């Protein structure tokens, strides 16, 4: 299981399906976000483990397709691909399916995917029940801090920070263990031309 998959399994604890009764500026931040049908770009992920000087780094491409799911293609240091839909998570190694988790037999899959879609899309309405949501706006950019409400959750996931403008640009997950995962999104493109034929075929 790759490092990103482990991050997803940790983030699954964040699942929250209740509507957000947003106070300003959180509602204003949501209004600033673009919501294209297709969105693709580059990600650079850094995992800093407590007690280690050197961070573990990976990078690749991601695509979010409305109504279908998320494609996460790690290119470095080792190529592999995750396809996340509402019903399953599929982990590819080359053309081979290395792992498949189905929401019908693994209910946590639906939670993982819902939270991932919410984080990438800046959908704060999905994150309000288990987290205190606090945000600020500076011109055309914004920052959001998510702090776990429940002590048990806080022991697993300390806090999450998001920032961006029309799109989420950075996600930082600080775990209670002292580990920290930072994901930076760049080269973001939208529309049908943003996704390659190869990537579209994986949906």
Concatenated DSSP letters of 133-198: EEEEEETTEEEEEEEESSHHHHHHEEEEEEEESSSEEEEEEEETTS-EEEEEEEEEEESGGGS-HH
Quick one: tokens of 162? Answer: 């998001």
pLDDT band at 11 (very low <50, low <70, confident <90, very high): very low
Percent of the chain with pLDDT strictly greater than 90? 22
What does the pLDDT average to over 139-144?
91
Quick one: tokens of 155? Answer: 């022991």
Which of 1-5, 40-44, 47-51, 130-134 shows the lowest per-residue confidence on average (mean pLDDT)? 1-5
Terminal CA-to-CA distance of the chain, rounded, Å?
A: 21
Higher-pLDDT residue of 3, 66: 66
pTM of the model: 0.77
Which of 28-37, 85-94, 169-178, 180-189 shows the lowest per-residue confidence on average (mean pLDDT)? 85-94
What does the pLDDT average to over 108-135?
67
């Amino acid at each position: 299981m790759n490092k990103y998959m482990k991050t997803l399994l940790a983030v699954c604890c964040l699942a929250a399906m209740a509507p957000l009764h947003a106070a300003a500026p959180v509602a204003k931040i949501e209004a600033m976000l673009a919501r294209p049908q297709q969105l693709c770009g580059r990600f650079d992920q850094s995992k800093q483990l407590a007690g280690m000087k050197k961070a573990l780094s990976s990078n690749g491409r991601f695509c979010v397709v409305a109504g279908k799911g998320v494609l996460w293609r790690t290119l470095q240091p080792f190529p592999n691909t995750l396809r996340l839909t509402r019903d399953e998570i599929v982990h590819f190694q080359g053309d081979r399916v290395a792992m498949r988790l189905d929401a019908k037999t693994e209910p946590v899959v639906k939670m993982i995917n819902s939270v991932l879609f919410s984080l990438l899309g800046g959908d704060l309405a999905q994150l309000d029940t288990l987290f205190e949501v606090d945000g600020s706006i500076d011109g055309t950019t914004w920052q959001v801090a998510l702090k776990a409400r429940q002590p048990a959750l806080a022991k697993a996931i300390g806090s999450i920070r998001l920032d961006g403008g029309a799109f989420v640009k950075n996600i930082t997950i600080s775990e209670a263990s002292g580990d920290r995962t930072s994901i930076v999104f760049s080269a973001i493109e939208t529309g049908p031309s943003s996704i390659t034929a190869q990537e579209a075929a994986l949906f």
